[in-house]
Structure 1
């Protein structure tokens, strides 16, 4: 799966090139300047301008300054262009790049991974798995990440909901393990949180879904971050500042061993359902 999967997933630099090129094309068109005229004035070739606007090549800082000197956009537009240029040099997975490129793009990337994988294993520490979230809970999570515009929040939530179509596809299996703390972490109203917990209980009954809870008093293995395993080909791990992606067999084997250790500690089936029930009863009493 790996080669086809990676070919289908644009990294953040590719996305940044496309967005930067689109922004340059837009301000050029607003200035009613032809590509050839811009190329002459900026001392560049017309094919290079075309490739920059299409996102096929990354411009240098000299290219950008030459283009801006000709187009003379408003100061806030110029700052936006320069900020988009900065994304080209950010490390892959940097959370600032993910946010600036649009949070919906990350949801689309995960949807492509989930489309191609047959076995998906997820471990989370403080939130309930995205593939099992209600719309209200997902909206609370996305809204809490950063002060995004409302349209970006709506788009990201829509994309997250679309990802859940995979749960009903034949031939796919899903294994979710969370720390017990994730059941209690509130990202929405009490009523919405109760609906979210009930959603988990419903999905647990599906034959292709296994949901486990590691209780708060369990001795944890050396796992400190959330991660997603797609078959045995690709792992995405979340840190405070970035997302770490790996396709190296050795690294993936480490995450598989970590997931197996968590599986040995977790409670499943009726035992997990009882823990969720306890959380729901406590929430109802306190609300």
Structure 2
């Protein structure tokens, strides 16, 4: 059996090796980051992100990089294989919770993104969770040590500060089923619904709920997050949540599938005042049920 820590380390190591090799080839060719960016048709900032391991280049970008730096055939083959290996990365949940390096990578992804779109069919998204809600969700996953849970919750609360940064945008789609699923005592669940209502009033935050009574236009088998670093979509990537791990998807064709999925799901959601009316009715329903 592969240990979680080993798998997480291999994922990080592949990205670092690819980044280091691309930077080495540029240095050997005597090209500045600006020169290389102009020759392969990307921004200088993206060259910097690729060489630091923060962005994964597409295969055409890697091919162009190898061409303008006069990489040998052996190096081109290695670059192709390594790029394919990092197109879909795996970050096990255990490592995501306990490993500070992996936690830092999660924070880095969120800090670099100017637009984050989160779809969640079964639970309140992490950036919207109260501390109490997060604690109960972690306890349901598996018996983590108390200190790991406390560290993870503190990190999640710290990440939520980004919601108040006006130069960034956050969009959430949540199913009604996720809002009705109650992993916490009633008073904590009501507090969680109140928090969603409050956050929905922020100008840079959009929250949509897909009612159970609404006819669906797209399947919703699992949660996913689309990260966009600028106004274009060439740097976009997706984080897919599964039971055992998070998958980081960088392939442009695969990312496009999730972008289309997002658009279809938006067509069935309610927003703004309609959303807040819906949440108020749900809160009233929960309170009434508790007293019957």
Structure 1-normalised TM-score?
Answer: 0.66
Match runs of 1:207-246 below 5 Å: 207-220=203-216, 221-231=218-228, 232=233, 233-246=236-249
CA separation of 1:15 and 1:241: change in aligned 2, threshold 3 A? closer
1:280 pairs with 278, 283, 286, which one?
283
Distance 1:103 1:15, change over 3 A: farther
Residue 121 in 1 paired to residue 121 in 2?
no
- Length, aligned pairs only: 202
Give 5+ residue unaligned stretches, structure 1: 1-10, 18-90
Q: Which residue of 1 aligns with 2:90?
A: 93
Q: Deviations over 1:96-148 (max 9, x none)?
A: xx315744645443221110000000000111111111111111111111100
Which of these two proteins has the greater Rg computed from alpha carbons? 1
The normalised TM-score by structure 2 is: 0.65
SS at match of 1:205: coil
Q: Distance in 2 between matches of 1:249 and 1:203?
A: 31
Give the gaps of 5 or more residues in structure 2.
1-6, 14-87
| 1:26-84, Cα deviation, whole Å (9 max, x unpaired) | xxxxxxxxxxxxxxxxxxxxxxxxxxxxxxxxxxxxxxxxxxxxxxxxxxxxxxxxxxx
**What is the RMSD of the two structures over their aligned residues, measured on CA atoms?**
2.1
Q: Does 1:173 align with 2:176?
A: no
- Of 165-174 and 197-206, more deviation after overlay is shown by 165-174
